[in-house]
């Protein structure tokens, strides 16, 4: 930074000097024009004087008859005196003009020499500036690499799983939640208060932009070449889908990132459904290859702009299973997983980073006694609660550093295995309702969030390398 400031000062000095020289050139140009005008005036005076001399010389005494002898006329003294004055004036003007022109030419030669020196100096400075620019580019590349390294170290010190709490808006006057700062929420239940700490607490008045800004460090990790997983957990109707998907006017997390490929699937009654395929009844299976988990046949759509992502999301949302329950008129009856492959190229460093952003909108946890679900809704609720229980068991095993992590207890945890086994950075939104009638579900959600906040997944691998065709560095 000091070198850059020095170079900026040198550039300012050169610009001031250049401005001075430009002013001098303008002054000399005006002087030359004035001299040319004066020379033209003197030349006109000279021509006028010559005409007067010629007129005087051409004057003759009238001719006399040759027979008569007359004496030669003597010159008119007055005419001779006038002729002398004109001649002297012409000589003086000529000398002044010659001296003025010579002085102007000498000044111009001097200024031209100065301009040549300045041009040479500017050329030298330009060459040095090009070398300095290249040095600054190198410093920028090193600084950018150091910034990314420090940023990811900070996240690792904070824990790879970051837990945010978001309170849903409510029109009711009574509330079971109180906020104490931006990292603490207090649950009020039967006169007692219980505090819960999170990485960030978003109040009911928080906007979608504020929520995205809060999780921007995690998203930045994806841009830096890390796989990132974002989950939304909470009871039905607590605002999970709004946080993740948003609306056209207030987009959620899903469309706030540049991407290359996009896929959407839902887990409905422990069955995988491709939400972007034209054959919605086609069955999908999970295939494990080493540490990676894949879904063969899952549709991937090329996306480049926000409009592309919006179109894909709208198509996937139309195909998602929703139904009305006593607690939520538009209750998601399935877990939604959206995967966005992100690729960012740095034109300065020449490196390309690739990461996958996995966004999971979990179906809401339900108590059958409150939802009064029957028939198909009851089957759906049982499948949702079973998979959420399996997710809680996975987080519990990770917290205790257990030798065996039960990822295969459900399709949900099986698909999330790469994200929760140290290959990605993880962020969890626990969405809660401030309504007093939902205090039991809110307490359960806050306890779930407090548990997973103590989970450390270990260091994730970075996917970074040169442009396509080169070798990828880990």
Q: Per the annotation, where are the binding residues for ATP? A: 234-241
**HEC string for the chain:** CHHHHHHHHHHHHHHHHHHHHHHHHHHHHHHHHHHHHHHHHHHHHHHHHHHHHHHHHCCCCCCCCCCCCCCCCCCCHHHHHHHHHHHHHHHHHHHHHHHHHHHHHHHHHHHHHHHHHHHHHHHHHHHHHHHHHHHHHHHHHHHHHHHHHHHHHHHHHHCCEEEEEEECCCCCCCCCEEECCCCEEEEEECCEEEEEECCEEECCCCCHHHHHHHCHHHHHHHHCCECEEEEEEEECCCCHHHHHCECCCCECCCCCCCCCEEEEEEEECCEEEECCCCCCCCCECCEEECCEEECCCCCCEECCCHHHHHHHHHHHHHHCCEECCCCCCCEECCEEEEEEEEEEECCCCCEEEEEEEEEEECCCECCHHHHCCCCHHHHHHHHHHHHHHHHHHHHHHHHCCCCCCCHHHCHHHHHCHHHHCCCCEEEEEEEECCCHHHHHHHHHHHHHHHHHCCCCCCCCCECEEECCCCCCEC
The residues near 198 (Cβ < 8 Å, ≥ 6 apart) are 163, 164, 165, 183, 184, 185, 430, 449, 450, 453
DSSP character at residue 365 = B
- CB-facing half-sphere around the CA of 239: CA atoms within 13 A: 26
- Longest Cα–Cα distance of the chain, Å, equals 160
The Cα–Cα gap between 474 and 468 comes to 15
Distance CA 10, CA 2 (A): 12
93/345 Cα distance (integer angstroms) = 74
CA proximity to 235, closest of 164, 373, 332, 380: 332
- List residues forming the annotated binding site: 234-241
Other CB atoms closer than 10 Å to residue 342's CB: what's the count? Answer: 23
Bridge partners (DSSP) listed for residue 268:
271
């Amino acid at each position: 930074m000091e070198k850059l400031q020095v170079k900026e000062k040198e550039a300012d000095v050169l610009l001031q000097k250049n401005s001075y020289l430009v002013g001098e050139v303008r002054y000399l140009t005006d002087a030359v024009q004035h001299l040319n005008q004066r020379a033209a005036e003197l030349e006109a005076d000279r021509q006028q004087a010559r005409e007067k001399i010629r007129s005087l010389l051409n004057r003759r005494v009238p001719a006399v008859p040759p027979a008569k002898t007359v004496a030669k006329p003597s010159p008119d003294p007055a005419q001779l005196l006038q002729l002398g004055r004109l001649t002297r004036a012409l000589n003086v003007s000529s000398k002044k003009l010659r001296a003025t022109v010579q002085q102007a030419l000498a000044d111009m030669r001097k200024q031209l020499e100065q301009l040549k020196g300045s041009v040479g100096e500017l050329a030298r400075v330009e060459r040095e500036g090009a070398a300095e620019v290249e040095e600054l580019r190198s410093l920028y590349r090193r600084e950018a690499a150091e910034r990314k390294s420090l940023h990811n170290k900070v996240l690792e010190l904070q824990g790879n799983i970051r837990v945010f709490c978001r309170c849903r808006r409510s029109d009711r006057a009574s509330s079971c939640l109180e906020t104490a700062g931006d990292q603490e929420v207090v649950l009020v239940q039967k006169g007692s208060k219980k505090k819960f700490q999170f990485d960030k607490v978003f109040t009911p008045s928080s906007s979608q932009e504020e929520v995205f800004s809060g999780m921007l460090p995690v998203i930045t990790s994806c841009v830096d070449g890390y796989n990132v997983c974002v989950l939304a957990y909470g009871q039905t109707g607590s605002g999970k889908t709004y946080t993740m998907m948003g609306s056209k006017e207030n987009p959620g997390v899903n469309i706030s990132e540049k991407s290359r490929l996009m896929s959407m699937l839902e887990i409905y009654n422990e069955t995988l459904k491709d939400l972007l395929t034209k054959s919605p009844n086609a069955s999908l299976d999970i295939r494990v290859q080493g540490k990676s988990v894949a879904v063969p046949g899952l549709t991937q759509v090329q996306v480049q702009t926000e409009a592309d992502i919006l179109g894909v999301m709208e198509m996937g949302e139309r195909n998602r299973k929703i139904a009305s329950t006593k607690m939520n008129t538009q209750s998601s009856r399935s877990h939604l997983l959206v995967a966005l492959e992100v690729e960012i190229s740095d034109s300065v460093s020449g490196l390309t980073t690739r990461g996958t952003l996995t966004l999971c909108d979990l179906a809401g946890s339900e108590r059958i006694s409150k939802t009064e679900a029957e028939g198909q809704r009851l089957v759906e609720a049982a499948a949702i609660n079973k998979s959420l229980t399996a997710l809680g068991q996975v987080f519990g095993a990770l917290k205790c550093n257990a030798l065996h992590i039960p990822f295969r207890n459900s399709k949900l945890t099986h698909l999330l295995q790469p994200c929760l086994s140290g290959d990605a950075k993880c962020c969890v939104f626990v969405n809660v309702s401030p309504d007093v009638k939902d205090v039991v579900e809110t307490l359960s959600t806050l306890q779930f969030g407090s548990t997973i906040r103590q989970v450390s997944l270990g260091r994730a691998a970075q996917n970074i390398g040169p442009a396509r065709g080169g070798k990828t560095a880990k």
